[in-house]
Structure formats: structure tokens, C-alpha cells
A and B are shown apart, each in its own frame.
Chain A
């Protein structure tokens, strides 16, 4: 293959972000559930919830470590691979990037304290309080970095006069129109994904025949919030669609293979596209696209043909959007079945099929995160800064990107495999039941 610095830079950026985002999502969501478990444990004086909090924390230290080092990598890579972009965008968007490091700092300090102060305070509630800055810090860092990404989609807060950037308004740039839906969707989907991951761990043990009430409590404390957050994710996702219709119509049009501007537009799920923009084999939901875009069947949705051919995103994003939405719906259904059974048919609540589905919910939500990001980022192409700077013009000219691609690929394999092995060993040889018994718990399943 011919050496292509732009292509390789894109692949390397994608690879690092795709790897980082898994750990970042866990980093944002899991502290919330640790806090929830610890709070329940203290409130009801229940050793099961307290142990849950402890064990989740132990696993969390590993994912945080990988999140931190890959985050450091992406932070530097932005300057290494996209020097012109950072040089120009840096003047506009440095504020949230800079504030993000404060959020990390804050989070890192309190996480360090939290990890090493179990049993150290006279009042155990003090220890729980330490999680508040951790939760705030990680959610704020998600807020700031997502604001940067939102800016790339809807840049504002500056003017270009004779090729130079003028009249910069940092706050206007930071609070750009994409921020509310983007930040909202990213945050709730992170909480949701973390809930499903933790639920899947409990469901896995129940499936393997462990009957301890510890696992049942774990399932309950994760799946009920999972239901709430997955519905919230879909609702904010719907708002994101309305945002796109107004501010980035080409992304929505590409996601929906919607070529001509019209009202009463149907929503297409999957299907195939030929050269003449004809769609075959798709599931057609009448009016749904118009409703997604503006709540009314009559809403006019801008079509892709309004945009010059070289400013249209690749059309395969259609499948990404569909898979994300399908996964989102399935996940709601899984959490809903659990909730309904637990209320009306508690005997059936631990049936094998439901537990299997819950185990699957972890990979499903992680895939939805990955695919959602790829959709959002590829849907912005060919722009790196929509309307101002194209991706191809922003990459480094270095001849060594290919080598670095290989090196980082190896790094992520090493980190991924290492994390999985360490996490497995950590819990395989140290079962929750044994740990509870050692702490004097007398429950017998």
C-alpha cells in the first residue's frame, strides 16, 4: 500500500480513541454505581452492598489505569498527528481542553484517597463522601472533552477575516449548539453502559449456579438504573436527531439515505443502496424521519443532494446509525423485562434466558458506544472543523506515521490483554462468597 500520512493519521486517531472511549465510559459511569452500592450498604447496614462497592472499586482501579494512560496518549497524539488543526483550533477551544485537565486532576486526587482509606475514618460516611468529587470530576471531564468534540461539529465564537481568526469568544465557542444533546447523550449512555456491564457480571455468576443473594442484589441495583438510563439515552438520542436536522442536516441525511428535501419523510432501517440512490430491502417506517427531525409528520427534512458531492459524508454511516438505535431498543427491552418480572413474576426473574440476555447487554452497550462515536465522527467528514478545515488538510506530513501505527497497535493489544488477564485473576481466585464468609457473613444460599 502506498504511504499516506493522512490515512494513517486517521487510522491511528481512530484506534486510540476507540480504545480509550471504552475505558473512559467505564471511568465516567462506574463510580456512580460504586457510590450507589456503598450508600445502600451504609443506609441498610448491609454487608453485601458494601462488599459490592469494594469489589467494583478493585476492578475499577485497573480500568482507570488503562483509561489514564490511553487518555494521555490521545491528548499528545492530537498535537502529533494534527499539528495544524491544534494550532488553529487551539486558539478557539483551549479553554475546555485546559479545564478538562483540572477535572482529571481533581478526580485523580480523590480517587487516590478513596482507594486507600477504606476503614480509615471513624465515620464510614466520610469515606463515601470522597466519591462525590470523583463522580463530579469524571463527569465534568466528559463534559469538557465532549464540548471540544461538539465544537468540531458546530464551530462558532469567532470570525475569519482575511484568513486570520478574529473576535474570539471562548465561552461562545465552548457552549456551541451541539453541546446540550452531545454531552447529554454521552453522559447518560456512559451511565447506562456501566450499569449493564456491572449487571452482566452478576448475571454471569448467577448463570454459573451461584445462588448467593449478593449477586441478586447486584443485579437489582444495576438493572433498575439501567432501565432508567437506557430510556434516557433513547430520549436524548431523539433530541440529538432534532439537533442534527437543524445544525448538521448532511449527517442526518447520510444516516438515513435521505436524498431529496421533503416532508413526511420515512425512516429507513438497514437495506441496500445502488448507484442511482435507490434503496431496496429496507424496513420503512412512514413519517418517522420527519418526526425524529421535528416532532411532526409534516416536518421538512433537508436531503443530501443539497450539498456539493465533495462535502457529503460516506453513506455507510446509515448502518452504524441503525445498529446503534437497534441495540438501544434491545437494551431497553432487556432491562424492562427484568423490571416487569421482578415486580409481577418474581419467581421467573432469574430465568436462564433473561440472565443470558443480561450477560450480552455488556458487549451490546459497548458496541453501541463505539458505533455511535464512529457514526458521529465519520458523519462529520470530510470536515475536521465543519465548514472551515478539512481533515485532509490538517494531518501531519511526517513519514513515520505507519510505524507508529504498528507500535500503538501492539501497545493496545498488550494493554487490552493485560487488563483482561489481571481482572480475571483478581476475581477468579477470590470469590465474593468466600470474602463475605471471611467477614463473618452467615448467609447460606
Chain B
């Protein structure tokens, strides 16, 4: 495996990690707000708090890790994306900042506060929408590159069917992934009422998540035919994704083996996202930047890989400890501690 490929694979894995843990977090915020609107807050709120409280900072680090890593391995991305994304990325940062801090303010600080939970819920859907513009832009066609620098063609972005289909798929996926996780978590907590509620959300958002995915395909076909054709080459992976989806939904429907069911959801996204990544290869930014011409020097790459491996050796046991103490600890999950 070349260093370039190794680098992008590592980053891709962290991005996928963020996709999952971030989705759980963002969706949970929205469900918490929604349950408040529908008068069902008492059912959900506590359980969501118990999951989110210990891990929100860790979720955020996944994102930091990704963007520091991509600039480290592929410094040219800082030039292209950095120049072009000032406005959309700043919006994401501001939303993330408000969300993170007001979450902490609400959880640790004051008792119950409508403003906090509103901000928390609504940013949960706005952030994924704004973050996914990065993926949209990477398809090419939204940047004007000339001597003076790189500029975003905002009007094209806002009027492109492709860009909106990506926003849609991100929103629906966030809600689906999150609901699926919470269903599993509610059963761990033996909280039957909450389980029934989030299970309904899961089933409700399941078909839309696949429908939105199909929509993206169609939009991409006209926006970037080259990428679309490459996707068709790995279509078996999308079929695999669909199989995982069907397995997950069957289990949720039959109320069986939620752990396996959630794992199937993760695999559904893993295969689809992997297929997307593979077909995107070797481009970081269609058609001007590939992982080969954007790569850092070889020496630095080797050091980064070594640092990464050393870091993982430290992190994996620590993450395991976190999961063991909170996620897989029946007493804690049930709220007895």
C-alpha cells in the first residue's frame, strides 16, 4: 500500500467514525427537542443525557482529528478547501461551538432551560447539513480557481440539485443512525417506553434513508458522470449495503437482537461510504487535486504514520475503558449509578 493510500485510509476511517458518533449525538439532540414538542420529553430525555454526557467531548475530537490529519497528510487541501470554504466552514464552527458549549451549560449548569434545549436540538440538524458541503464541493464544479486564488461559486452550490440531495441524505441518515442506536441503548437500559418510542423513529426514518441515497445517485449522475461511472463499478458494495439495511430493519421490526441490528446499520453505512470513498479515489477534489499531488513529503508522512500508530496504541485501550464504563455497563446505563 502506498503511503498516500495509507494516509487517506486512516483519515477516511476517522471520518467514518465521526459520521457514526456524530450522527448519534446530533440526532439525539433533535429527538430530545422533538419529544419535548410532542410532550414525550420525560420518556427520552434522561436516557439521552446518560449516553451523551460522558462522550460529547470525545465525539468532537473525532472531527478535530480528521481536519488536523487531512491538513497534515495533504497540506494542499488547506489551500484549496481552506480558501474556498471560509463561509460554510465558519458557519459549521459557529453552530458546533454554540451546540457544544450550550450543551455543557444546560447539563452541568442550570436545571432545565428551553433555550438550551432548543439550540441543542436545532443545531443537531443544521450542523450535518453544513458539514456535508465539504463532500459536495469535493465533487468539483463549485470552485473558481484562478491566479488570485480559489473562490466558492455560492450560487451554483445553492442551486445545485446534487448539493441539496446530499443535504437531504445527511439529515435523514443522522436521524436514522441515531434512532437505531438509541433503540439499542434503551433496551440495554431496560426502559421499555423509551424503547418503543425510538424504535418507531427508527422504522419511520429507515425507508427515507435509502430513498435519499438513491436520490443522490441520480443527482450525481448529471453532476459528475465520471464519479458516477466509477460508483457503478463498485455497485456490488451498494448491494451489500442494502442487504445490511434489510437485515437491520427486519431485526428492529421483529424487536430482536438490537445490538446486531445496530451493527448492521453501521455496516450499511460502512459499505456505502467505503464505496463512495473508493470511487472518489484518487481525487480529493475533482478534477484538480488527487491524493498523489496533494501529498506531503515522504519524511513527514512516515513520521505521521508512526505517530498515528503510537497514538492508537494509547487510544484504543482508553476508548475501550470509556465504553466499558458507560456504554456496556448495565448498572450505569440503567441509571443505577
Contact = CB atoms under 8 A, between A and B. Distances in A.
B277 interface: no
B37 interface: no
Interface in B95-109: 96-98, 100-105, 108-109
Nearest to B149: A397
Nearest to A171: B303
Interface stretch (B18-26, B65-73, B263-271): B65-73
B307 A422 contact: no
Contact of A108 (B58, B87, B93, B102): B58
A109 B109 CA distance: 21
- Would you call the interface of chain B mostly helix, strand, loop, or mixed? helix
Contact of B97 (A72, A92, A116): A72
Contact of B300 (A61, A88, A170): A170
A109 B89 CA distance: 26
A68 B337 CA distance: 27
A42 B76 CA distance: 52
A75 interface: yes
Contacts of A113: 54, 321-322, 325-326
Contacts of A169: 299
A97 interface: yes
A405 B111 CA distance: 33
Contacts of B303: 95, 170-171
Given A70-B97, A98-B69, A105 B58 contact: yes
A210 B19 CA distance: 50
Nearest to B76: A87
Interface residues of B, number: 65
A189 to B, nearest CB: 25
A198 interface: no
Contacts of B101: 65-66, 69, 415, 418-419
A91 B80 CA distance: 15
A407 interface: yes
B215 interface: no
Interface string A262-305: 00000000000000000000000000000000000000000000
Given A76-B89, A98-B308, A113-B322, A426 B75 contact: no
Contact of A398 (B76, B78, B83, B300): B83
A297 B307 CA distance: 46
Contacts, number: 215
Contact of A425 (B65, B109, B314): B109
A79 interface: yes
B159 to A, nearest CB: 19
B81 interface: yes
Contact of B93 (A76, A111, A423): A76
Given A66-B101, A425-B110, A408 B94 contact: yes
B247 interface: no
Most buried by B among A83, A92, A106, A120: A83
B61 interface: yes
Given A112-B54, A397-B83, A407-B90, A414 B108 contact: no
A98 B86 contact: no
B297 interface: yes
Nearest to A105: B61
A109 B55 CA distance: 8
Given A58-B108, A408-B90, A72 B297 contact: no
Given A69-B101, A113-B54, A79 B322 contact: no
Interface residues on A, range: 35 or more
A75 B65 CA distance: 10
B300 A91 contact: yes
A401 B90 CA distance: 10
A111 to B, nearest CB: 7
Contact of A106 (B63, B308, B314, B325): B314
Interface in A50-89: 58, 61-62, 64-66, 68-73, 75-77, 79-84, 86-88
Contacts of A87: 75-76, 78-79, 82
Interface of B: 53-55, 57-58, 60-61, 63-65, 67-69, 71-73, 75-76, 78-83, 85-87, 89-90, 93-94, 96-98, 100-105, 108-110, 148-151, 296-297, 299-300, 303-304, 307-308, 311, 314-315, 318-319, 321-322, 325-326, 337
Given A98-B307, A108-B58, 4 more contacts: A72-B60, A97-B71, A112-B58, A112-B322
23 contacts: A61-B104, A65-B100, A65-B105, A72-B100, A73-B94, A76-B67, A80-B90, A83-B80, A86-B75, A90-B75, A90-B296, A91-B75, A92-B300, A97-B72, A98-B68, A98-B304, A105-B311, A106-B318, A109-B318, A111-B57, A171-B303, A403-B87, A426-B110
Interface of A: 58, 61-62, 64-66, 68-73, 75-77, 79-84, 86-88, 90-92, 94-95, 97-102, 104-106, 108-113, 115-117, 120, 133, 165, 168-171, 396-398, 400-401, 403-404, 407-408, 411, 414-415, 418-419, 422-423, 425-426
